[in-house]
Amino acid sequence: RAGVPDEDVYQYRAAAPQEAAIEEGSTRYLETEFLLNRGIETYGFIEVGIGANAWGADWNGPITFNDRAWQGQMNQLYLINERILKEDQLSLGGRVDLLYGTDFLYTVAGGLDTEWNSNRYYGLAMPQLYGEVGTQALNIKFGHFYTLIGYEVVPAIGNFFYTHAYTMQYGEPFTHTGVLATWNPNDQLSIIGGITNGWDNWDVGLPTNQANPFPGSTSNASFLGAVTFSSSDGSQALTLANSSGNEFATASFVNPTSAYVGNRTVTSIVYSNEFTDKLTYVYQSDLGYQAYAGGDIPVYYETQGQQPGSAYWYGVNQYLFYNFTDYLIGGLRLEWFRDNNGTRVQYGLRDGSPEATGFAGNFWAMTWGLNYLVGNNLVIRPELRYDWFSQDLGNAALGVGLPFGKTAGGLGTQSDQFYGGCDIIWQF
């Protein structure tokens, strides 16, 4: 397999997102002897793509990150500078990631990237900026970093598919700011835990004019942790991850001037099994909960099978990857996501739609894709996807419309959608 990137780069395993980095065998055009002698690595990639839906709508509904139909997008121009900790001696490390492109909007953190971006189509995000001290077996990380929750990640090079699962986009955080401790006692066990200031947040505090104040309600200190178990031969891995802390519960649907704060907890399970050298299976599930979401839940959905005023979301994804050759890999993703109270899934962030609420109901999707590896540095990722939505009673009465088949500023008219897209990633 000389000269071909390992397929593990594109089939992200149950591990910390930072490990889904660019394959070491790729040619890195930005590296210099001066930086390498000081342990600093510089590399990146550029991702461009296009996709469209069969309805001819201007937008691809809740599909992300490729949200615009028939519009070529430079999704990610991604640059990384890092200094990796030494394996068996105390050292200092760190990493900074910069992302420019249309995907910036999905990775911004409150109080950071929002301060320098004003364009809704292209912008600059800094999803990671952290330092580390310790060894690879025992270390402390401090700063701004990607989440431990879920399976799919922000950097395009760490995913098999061009589009993302509902769980990743609507059920999980992307980044955190805080402190994490990592302990890897052996090759089969990894334990990570620490304190952050919540979901996708740099330095924005919780509101003080809360409609539901309670002891500790102004603190956004959150727990973030994960445990990964791996088999001795490396063919199987299981990760359990959790994030829990106070979050601003009210979005923009019902009464954005009424500040509700409550505990938000999400738990993720990721299991991967490399059955053979050619066949790999991945299971992933999320369960999320938001307390005191009453200001964000229409009356139709307040008592959808749980305590009134709270919101739940949960989903299951299954992936199957098959290596046809060293250069061609096929993938299948089956997903189900339940937005129990209409607080998570909504129209695209930048399509100018009126939003009375989100979509309460079940989202289903099947995605078929290929990864064609061209030499060391290039991968082509075509995919086909079919989504459908089964709504709960009340959507029509609220004037929300349906998730698919919509134009800018209007409401959707369709409950399903066929989508096709393709992107190209070049590493440098």
The answer for residues whose C-beta is within 8 angstroms of residue 396's C-beta and 6 or more apart is none
pLDDT digits (tens, 9 = 90+) for 355-373: 556 788 999 999 999 999 9
At residue 22 the predicted structure's pLDDT band, cuts being 50, 70 and 90, is very low
Helices assigned H by DSSP within 49-181: 166-171
What are the backbone dihedrals phi and psi of residue 170, each rounded to the nearest 5 degrees, phi first?
-115, -10
* Total count of residues recorded for the chain: 428
Average pLDDT, the chain: 86
Homologous superfamily assigned to 7-427: Porin (2.40.160.10)
More confident residue, 293 or 331: 331
Distance CA 364, CA 185 (A): 39
| 402-417 CB burial, b ≥16 within 10 A, e <16 | bbbbbbeebbbebbbb
Pairing verdict, β 378-391 and 416-427? antiparallel
Distance CA 418, CA 53 (A): 6
pLDDT at 256 over 60: no
Contact between residue 73 and residue 64 where contact means Cβ atoms under 8 Å apart: no
More confident residue, 348 or 85: 85
Lowest mean pLDDT among 121-130, 263-272, 350-359: 350-359
Query: What's the predicted TM-score (pTM) here?
Result: 0.90
What is the per-residue pLDDT for 260? 80
pLDDT at 414 over 70: yes
pLDDT digits (tens, 9 = 90+) for 88-138: 899 999 999 999 999 999 999 988 977 776 678 899 999 999 999 999 999
Angle at 116 between CA 22 and CA 43, to 5 degrees: 15
